[in-house]
A = this chain, B = another copy of it.
Amino acid sequence: MTDDTEANESTTPTAAQTACFEAGIKFGSLYHQFAGTPISPSSAPSLARAMEESIENQPHCSAVTVDVRTDELERELADSTADYTELTGRFLEVEIVVDYEDREVVTRMAMEDGYPLMELVSVDDREPDA
């Protein structure tokens, strides 16, 4: 019992914890791959689709749903001399579902207090039926 990270019997990650780690990877990937992309109301649907399909390629990723908040996008462009802007979190609502060794993790990004917040919604840590 000399391991200084030890307190429980083990610090070995559980399947549910690994599922949560995998879900986080997908969220960080999606955000930092696509933040900064030029976006307008007319190009938003193709970008949303590409974000979904590209991140769904990643391991254990069962579903990605990207909604562009076109109301917010149009409001920003109405105040602007430009007809496009850069993709950032306040234009996005995203849900990502990861399935790792039968543990399903649902995660979401949405605005909270003016900031885009990525959060774990649920972690289904049931043992699969024998």
The main secondary structure of chain A at its interface with chain B is mixed
- Which range contains the number of A residues in contact with the other chain? 35 or more
The residues of B that contact A29 with a CB separation of less than 8 Å are 28-29, 31-32, 38
Partner of A28, one of B3, B18, B25, B40: B25
List, sorted by A's number, 29 A–B pairs whose CB atoms are closer than 8 Å: A5-B14, A5-B16, A5-B124, A6-B125, A7-B124, A7-B125, A12-B122, A12-B123, A13-B20, A13-B123, A14-B123, A17-B123, A21-B118, A21-B120, A23-B24, A24-B24, A28-B29, A33-B34, A35-B35, A37-B54, A38-B54, A38-B57, A39-B57, A43-B50, A43-B57, A46-B52, A47-B53, A47-B54, A81-B115
